């Protein structure tokens, strides 16, 4: 299994992403809350660059005790990245499509050796 250099950890701050290529593999690597996540940069919808759009907290409905809609808020726990072509959202920690959890981007293993980050392809 080949490993592709992503970045030096000191040059890859929390909340950032890098896109790396190796042959036919185009991979988005995210540094989120001290952990690294890597996914195929190909949206399941129409093949857009899934990993290159906005990174944002999931929008959640707020439901009152009486079961009425009170508005919306940003999630405290779930963060998604959004394909810039048509807005498909993917969970940054799992690669699952937010609209249909049965759909999931291909994930890759991320390896840190000292100050260097690699993705295994």
- CATH number for 3-120: choose from 3.40.50.1820, 2.102.10.10, 1.10.10.10, 3.40.640.10: 2.102.10.10
What pLDDT is attached to residue 71?
Answer: 95
Can you read off the two tokens belonging to residue 85?
């072509």
DSSP string of 48-63, one letter each residue: --GGGS-EEEEEEEEE
Q: What ranges do the domains of the chain cover?
A: 3-120
Per-residue pLDDT of the chain (121 residues; tens, 9 = 90+): 799 999 999 999 999 999 999 998 899 999 999 999 999 999 999 989 999 999 999 888 999 999 999 999 998 889 999 999 999 999 999 999 998 999 999 999 999 999 999 999 9
Quick one: which of 35, 38, 31 has its CA closest to 105? 38
Q: How far is CA 57 from CA 11, 54, 82, 118, 120, in A?
A: 24, 10, 10, 26, 27
Backbone angles phi, psi at 10, to 5 degrees: -65, -20
């Amino acid at each position: 299994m080949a490993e592709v250099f992503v970045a030096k950890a000191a040059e890859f701050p929390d909340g950032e992403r890098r896109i790396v290529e190796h042959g036919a593999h185009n991979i988005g690597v995210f540094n989120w809350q001290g952990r690294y996540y890597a996914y195929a940069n190909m949206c399941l919808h129409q093949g857009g660059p899934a990993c290159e759009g906005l990174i944002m907290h999931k929008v959640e409905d707020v439901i009152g005790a009486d079961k009425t809609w009170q508005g919306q808020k940003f999630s405290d726990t779930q963060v998604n990245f959004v394909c810039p072509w048509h807005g498909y959202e993917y969970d940054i920690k799992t690669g699952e499509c937010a609209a249909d959890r049965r759909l999931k981007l291909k994930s890759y293993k991320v390896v840190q050796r000292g100050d260097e980050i690699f993705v295994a392809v």
